[in-house]
């Protein structure tokens, strides 16, 4: 059975990864719909006309999209680092146990069982 230490840290790692996915999906949707949709980047009008896309708003929308992606990436990496540290602790503990047992001699094998005497022949 696997050792289940640090269950609360495991929960935090999963929550960080779930939050990263939520931030990426919802944040990306809000930036795309709010930035491009509101400022008319999809209507095909040239910049400067009423309702046309303003290059400053388009650039701000793209920068916001990159910011959302980076924030989601950092959340995901935080969850992965927690998992990494838990695995590192488990491996360190296993190595310490193995090294503690290296200096001990294994128990000698048991002596062989005595052989039964050979059968005698009757005439």
pLDDT for 45: 54
- C-alpha distances (whole Å) from 115 to each of 74, 108, 109, 112, 118 are 70, 20, 17, 9, 9
Q: What is the DSSP code string of 6-47?
A: -HHHHHHHHHHHHHHHHIIIIIHHHHIIIIIIHTTTTS-PPT
pLDDT tens readout for residues 53-84:
566 777 788 888 999 999 999 999 999 999 99
Tell whether the model's pLDDT for residue 3 goes beyond 80: no
pLDDT tens readout for residues 19-33:
999 999 999 888 888
């Amino acid at each position: 059975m696997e050792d289940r230490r640090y269950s609360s840290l495991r929960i935090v790692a999963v929550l960080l990864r779930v939050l990263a996915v939520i931030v990426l999906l919802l944040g990306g949707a809000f930036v795309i719909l709010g930035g491009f949709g509101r400022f008319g980047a999809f209507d095909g009008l040239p910049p400067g006309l009423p309702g046309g896309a303003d290059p400053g708003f388009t650039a701000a929308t793209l920068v916001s999209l990159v910011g959302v992606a980076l924030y989601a990436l950092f959340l995901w990496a935080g969850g992965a680092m927690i998992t990494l540290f838990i695995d590192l602790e488990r491996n360190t503990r296993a190595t310490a146990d193995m090294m503690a047992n290296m200096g001990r001699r294994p128990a000698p094998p048991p002596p062989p069982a005595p052989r039964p005497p050979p059968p005698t022949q009757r005439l």
